[in-house]
Structure 1
Amino acid sequence: GCAMDLFKKGWFTEVYDMCPGMTLSIQIDKVLHHEVSKYQDILLLETKNYGRVLVLDGIIQCTEFDEFSYQEMISFLPLC
């Protein structure tokens, strides 16, 4: 289904197919962008607690709140 189907009443809910009965919901201020490309359903959200959130195919990829952990890990690769 479309990632926009997971956005209801001010909340985005990620459904975990591998963990039946488990979901994660994040309160949303607004949808900044939604686009369906040839390869992915792309959703960019603005949230109260996590800043901007990138969602691909209904799965949260990263947030402004925790992006430093991704950036730090890839910054060490050139040092190896």
Structure 2
Amino acid sequence: MSNRSSESSLSQTAVYQPQPLVPESSTASNQTRLVEVMKSVYQANHQAEFLHLHAETDQLLEQLQSLKQKRLTASSPSAITSHSH
């Protein structure tokens, strides 16, 4: 019996919803507007961060390729001269 009583009170608690202070339609539209604004700001922020990181990655990749090329160029003549001796 105590299980039925606690189940009954749980279902009543789960169903209870406080009444909004402003009409639901305006609350829903305000929330929708707020969500849309947050999404656009959030996306723009992340898009800018992504573009910045992408540019930085490209720059680092170019530096790495340049260093590899310099090392290959620097090691090639020494490798040739060491084999010829």
TM band (smaller chain): under 0.3
Q: Report the TM-score, using the length of structure 1 for normalisation.
A: 0.26
Q: Report the TM-score, using the length of structure 2 for normalisation.
A: 0.25
Instruction: Specify the structure having the higher radius of gyration (Cα).
Output: 2
- Tell which has more relative contact order, 1 or 2 (C-alpha 8 A, sep 6+): 1
